[in-house]
Amino acid sequence: MKRPSMIRPGMFGGVISADTRRQVFDYHNEVIIAHQAPIDFVFIGDSITDMWDLDTYFGGRGRRIVNRGIGGDMTPYVLRRFPADVVQLHPKYTVIKVGVNNTWALDAWQQKDLKTPQSIHDEVVTETVEMVQLAKQADILPIVSSLLPTCIATNKQTAIRNELILDINRSLRKKMEALGGIFVDDHSAMTDHTGKQLRSELADDGLHPNVLGYTIMAQELREQLKRVGIEI
């Protein structure tokens, strides 16, 4: 067997979360490409995607689902690895869920790393739209999943963060409507009575879903995709 020519985005340098899985993903991508394995869905994003046991929720139906989530990842790096981890695998669909880690710039330790809510909003929306456009150019149907709310009591920016997440989700919904992609809202099913904060029983740390949270996410994804004729 001749090894295929393929995209390898390389390392980004410094302390970058995306680098932690790069070698593993390159090896796995090469196997998929070399064997021309048909892929139905590629999920891409941060730790919320990485920690999602997709086989348990969506496996056993004859569909091939690939997880390309990386803990700690942010939109600039997901965008840069998108051609390697999504486009060159030629899935039918890609589920994009990333952006919450961008919001930690609200309370960065160093002044130079601090960002305003508006600048974070623009970064997440712009770079997600670029991923959507890359997918569409490759005849892959993009599915953008909403950012989830948080409920970290010890974090002073939680209220601001949750308001920002709402604003980002509103913008992403509008962008997907304009671009002809699909927006899946699981945020609304996971908030408390305020409509902004994550229900405390859905995440042990106020951020990462536990089995209760992931079960809601899976139900929402399955039901909302079914409405547009997509089975997962």
Cα–Cα distances in angstroms (integers) from residue 215 to residues 25, 51, 130, 222, in the given order: 26, 13, 29, 11
Radius of gyration of the chain (CA): 17
SS3 153: coil
Which pLDDT score is estimated for 153? 86
Residue tagged 């070698």 (tokens): 23
Tokens of 41: 């869905």
- Give the chain's domains with CATH numbers: 17-225 (3.40.50.1110)
Residues of the chain with pLDDT under 50: none
Q: Are 98 and 78 in contact (CB under 8 A)?
A: yes
Which pLDDT score is estimated for 3? 62
Would you give the distance in Å from CA 29 to the centre of its chain?
Answer: 18
Which pLDDT score is estimated for 9? 80
Beta-strand relationship, 93-97 and 65-69: unpaired
